[in-house]
Amino acid sequence: MTGLRDEAGRAGSQAPWGLRGVTVQRAGMLWLDAIDIDAVPGELTAVVGGDGAGKTTLLRVLVGVQAVDRGTVMRPSSREIGFVAARTGLYADLTVEENLEFSAAAYGMSRSDLDGRMAQLLERMGLAGARDRLVGQLSGGMRQKLALAAAIAHRPRLLVLDEPTTGVDPVSRAELWHLLAGAAAEGAAIVVATTYLDEAERASSVLLIHEGRALGSGTPGSLIAAMPGALGVATSRPPGDGGDTWRRGRTWRIWARDGQLPAGVDQVRPDLEDVAVVAQLASRAPAPEPAGAQPAGAGTTR
């Protein structure tokens, strides 16, 4: 049964917002499959997955612009949500100040409320000197910070962002995450989709998804600790590895499902990027043994 509970429906409960068992099908394809996610006030949740994993669909469901086929959606009222889509929704032919005014009106803010908030926001975002500039003249990082300012001007209780740092320079990426940490400290529940695993490690919790299915969820530390098997590193790809290897920088990662790394391969502690790759590998059937390999338990190591 499809359900939607808003804050009034929860009778004062302090339970987080989020999704429970949400499934979405479109054009005969499964976009989300029984997805659960929490959005906790004061915390940041990262949704991690590659292109086509279902991240955008998940966020659109959470903010109420995508219907679900099954499951329950819990969220505050629409005027208590801030949303930054992959395309920021800013108007290139309007100034920074005019974009903020337009967004504030859409969220129901009065002019007096915005006047008291705008100077503070522009200063925090480093845009105080650009309030009269056209958005089309801003750098990518400045546009993303303006989009965030527009989404938090009304002090939302739930803030949702779709890959806000994609295509942004490293300095602006760091600044945006600092700003998000500030929004969480003010009590907002934040859900961010990202393809950057180093960013996801800063989150309170992480949801790994692939092809619409959850591969794992928890704190970054708990996901790393729960990774099955053993992870090794080598300077070259070992022959007959069974397929559970991938290049990372100038070295090769080698994942042993049974925990037994090949001789001469050094074991390393995984990070969240390794965990995300292993989660995808573990969701598939093991690759066939190379020709001539001995059965498991015959005294050889993989």
Q: Read off the pLDDT of residues 284-299 as tens digits, 9 standing for 90 and up.
A: 766 555 444 443 333 3
pLDDT attached to residue 241:
54
Which amino acid does the sequence have at 191?
V
- Asked whether residue 120 carries a pLDDT value surpassing 90, the answer given is no
210, 233, 224: which is closest to 271 by C-alpha?
224
Average confidence (pLDDT) over 166-178: 86
Instruction: Return the DSSP state at 135.
Output: G
User: Which H or E run includes 32?
Assistant: strand 29-39
156, 7 in Cβ contact below 8 A? no
- Asked whether residue 76 carries a pLDDT value surpassing 90, the answer given is yes
d(C-alpha 297, C-alpha 155), whole Å: 60
Quick one: pLDDT band at residue 240, thresholds 50, 70, 90? low
* Domain residue ranges in the chain: 1-76+157-219, 88-155, 221-282
Architecture, CATH, for domain 1-76+157-219: 3-Layer(aba) Sandwich (3.40)
Q: Read off the pLDDT of residues 214-231 as tens digits, 9 standing for 90 and up.
A: 999 999 999 999 999 999
- Asked whether residue 169 carries a pLDDT value surpassing 60, the answer given is yes
Q: For residues 13 and 212, which has the higher predicted lDDT (pLDDT)?
A: 212
Q: Residue 290: helix, strand or coil by DSSP? A: coil
pLDDT attached to residue 7:
42
Average confidence (pLDDT) over 257-285: 91
pLDDT attached to residue 289:
52
Question: Which region among 49-63, 68-82, 111-125, 158-172 has the lowest average model confidence (pLDDT)?
Answer: 111-125
Cross-strand bridge partners of residue 2 = 71
Q: How far is C-alpha 4 from the geometric centre of its chain's CA atoms?
A: 23
Q: For residues 124 and 217, which has the higher predicted lDDT (pLDDT)?
A: 217
pLDDT attached to residue 173:
85
As a whole number, the mean pLDDT across the chain is: 86
Question: Which region among 2-11, 43-52, 113-122 has the lowest average model confidence (pLDDT)?
Answer: 2-11
pTM above 0.75, yes or no: yes
Q: For residues 209 and 140, which has the higher predicted lDDT (pLDDT)?
A: 209
Quick one: pLDDT band at residue 242, thresholds 50, 70, 90? low
Average confidence (pLDDT) over 167-184: 87
192, 205, 197, 204: which is closest to 160 by C-alpha?
192
Average confidence (pLDDT) over 49-54: 90
What string of DSSP letters covers 76-120?
A: --GGGEEEE-SS----TTSBHHHHHHHHHHHTT--HHHHHHHHHH
